[in-house]
Structure 1
Amino acid sequence: MNKYMRMVLFGLIVWLVPFILSFAFVDRQGNFTIDETFFKSIMVVTGALVGVVLAVRYFRDVETGYVNEGITLGVIWLVVNLALDLVMVSGGFFQMTVVQYFTDIGMRYLVMPIYTMGMGYALMQRTS
């Protein structure tokens, strides 16, 4: 599989796992069944766990250009996750405006390029 397709596929998985898990904590009317802050913490931790596992898996096949690969991977994941969420916001699935979305959820996705670049940098340091 093409490396960019793999990056996009992994980005979809990083988004999909917390999304599916979220159904366990929201009722049919869209209300949280647990404290909202706790729900958001679960989503952030789940996304980070899935993201790190998939980033480690991705970097197993990288032999050079670790930092550039980390930047590319993180940016692709950021774009994929923001795009999928914005489809949900514009479709009315999330009951919020785009501005509310970015202040409440969207900014959290910046962690993706941070940890993928960090992994790339660590691998570069290890191999030099």
Structure 2
Amino acid sequence: MNKYIKMFLYGLIVWMVPFIVSFAFVDQQGNFTIDETFFKSIMVVTGAFIGVILAVRYFRDVDTDYLNEGIVLGLIWLVINLALDLSMVYGGFFQMSVTQYFTDIGMRYLSMPIYTIGMGYVLMQREN
């Protein structure tokens, strides 16, 4: 499979799994069924867990340019996740402004390039 297709598909999965998991904690009116802070923690941990699993899986097929691959992978995932979330904000699914979105949720996606770049860096160091 083309590496960019794989990056894109994994980016969709990284977004989709926490989104699907979130339905277990929100009622039909959009209210949390658990404490909101606990909900956000569950989402961060779920996203990080899936992201690391998929990043490890992605890097299994990488033989060179580990750092560059980590940068590209993390940025593609960041853009995909922000785009999908912002489409939900603009579509009215998330009842918040764009500013509120970035302060409540959007900044958390910066963890994606942090761990993919970190993985790429470590792999690059092992090669030298």
Decide: shared fold, TM above 0.5. yes
Structure 1 distance, partners of 2:60, 2:50, is 16
Q: Give the equivalent residue in structure 2 for 1:42.
A: 42
How far did residue 91 of structure 1 move?
Answer: 0.3
How far did residue 127 of structure 1 move?
Answer: 1.3
Describe the SS at the equivalent of 2:61.
coil
Q: Please list, as runs of the form range in 1=range in 2, the aligned pairs for 1:1-128 lying within 5 A after superposition.
A: 1-128=1-128
TM-score for both structures, normalised by structure 1: 0.99
Structure 2 distance, partners of 1:59, 1:75, is 15
1:71-106 residue CA offsets vs partner (Å, 9 max, x unmatched): 000000000000000000000000000010001100
Q: Structure 1: any 5+ residue segments left out of the alignment?
A: none
How far did residue 2 of structure 1 move?
Answer: 1.1
How big is the alpha-carbon RMSD for the aligned residues of Structure 1 and Structure 2? 0.4
Q: Structure 2: any 5+ residue segments left out of the alignment?
A: none
Amino acid of the residue matched to residue 77 of structure 1? W
Structure 2 distance, partners of 1:25, 1:103, is 21
Amino acid of the residue matched to residue 127 of structure 2? T
Amino acid of the residue matched to residue 123 of structure 2? L
Aligned residue pairs total: 128
TM-score for both structures, normalised by structure 2: 0.99
Structure 2 distance, partners of 1:108, 1:73, is 16
